[in-house]
Structures are given as C-alpha cells and as structure tokens.
Amino acid sequence: MARRSDVADLAGSVGLAAWVGFGVLTMVVVGLPDRPLFWDERALVWSAGHGPPVVVALARGLTATGTGVIPYVLVALAGIIAGRTARHRLICAALAMGCLAAGQAVRYGLMTLIDRPRPPHADWRTHASGWSFPSGHTTTAALAAGILVVALLVRAPRGQAALVVAVGGWGALVGLTRVYLGVHWLTDVLGGWLLSIGWLGLCLCAAAWWLPDHLVRGEHPRTAH
C-alpha cells in the first residue's frame, strides 16, 4: 500500500496543476467576454452540422446521467467499494458524497461570478439553464467518475482496468455531449474537467493528510494501532 504522504503529494501536485490550468483558462474567458474562442466556434459549427436523430437522442440520454441522482449513486457505490466494514463503507460514502456536493457548490459559485453566456439558443438540442462556464454536467460527471475510479484503484477488484476505462469514458462523454447538444462551449467543458481534477486532488490530499488511520484502513479505533 502506498504511503499516505506519497498519496498526498501526488494528489496535491495533480490538483495544483489542474487549478493552475483552470485559472489560466478562466482568465482567457473573462478577458474575452463578448466572443467565443476560435475552438469554441469550430466545435459548435461542427456539432450543428452533424445531428442524426439517433445520435442526438443518445446524446440526450447520456447527458441526463451527468446530473441529479445518478452521480450520487455512483459516489455512494465508490464508498461501498472502498470500505472494508459496514461502518467504514458508510463513512466512505458520506465523505465521497460530501466531496461531490462541495465541488458542485464551488462550481456554481464560480459560474455565477464569471457569468459567461451560453451559445446561441438556436443551436440548442436540449434544455439548459444558468451561465455557461464551467459546465455543471461536465464537472459533476467528472467528479463522480474520478471518485469511483479512485475507489476502484484503491481496492483493485478483478477486471479493474476495464471498469476504470468504462467509468472514465462515461465521465468524459457526458462533457462532450454538452458541446454536441449546443448548450456549452468547448471551453466550458475543458474548464469543468480541470475544475473537477483540481477539486478531487484537493479532497484526496486533505484526506491523506488529516483523516485518522483507522478511517483510511477501515479498522476499529481500538485496534488501529
């Protein structure tokens, strides 16, 4: 098992890099409030020109999984996978859901502060509300996927690689559907990914440094030593 200090250093380093990237991207978005970036326009034009009904329906179904109850079910499942005992699983699930909920709150606050407009309504293929940057569905799905991937890596069940790829692919595809359905700029999705990585890195680093050993290992406090 990796040392807690090593886990904290790795999570902190990855998280810090993501926060720096998010900060740079945010400054670019704020610095150009009245027009989209060139890759935003290209992605929107491509999406508007490629809309077979079956693919649009699939994208709508997939994008719906990036909000509401499904991400919380996934992070609760992550707690069950990561825990060793019933009590430990309950604690892990609560911590995972707390990480997701707090990340959503941070995302909402940043979105309100930045107040970037969405793409033109004429290009929308699904319902959307609120401001555009960073994407809420993208952030939520990426956070849920990241938490579940960490749980899978910690407990290393049989078939781990396939499960990690499937979960990570879902988290990424939810973000891409937001661009394909015309309700977000590509930059919004990139911002959501960076924000989720930064937040997850922060939560993992804090957990590695400050959680008691018996919570990390799933042992009873009296026998943890």
Other CB atoms within 10 Å distance of the CB of residue 36? 20
Predicted confidence (pLDDT) per residue in 39-93, tens digit? 898 999 888 888 889 999 999 999 999 999 999 999 999 999 888 788 888 988 9
Asked if pLDDT for residue 123 goes beyond 90, the answer is no
The average confidence (pLDDT) of the chain is: 88
Q: What pTM does this model have?
A: 0.89
My answer on whether omega of the bond before 71 falls inside 30° of 0, hence cis, is no
Tokens of residue 208, six digits: 């590695």
Asked if pLDDT for residue 94 goes beyond 80, the answer is yes
Tokens of residue 64, six digits: 């719906």
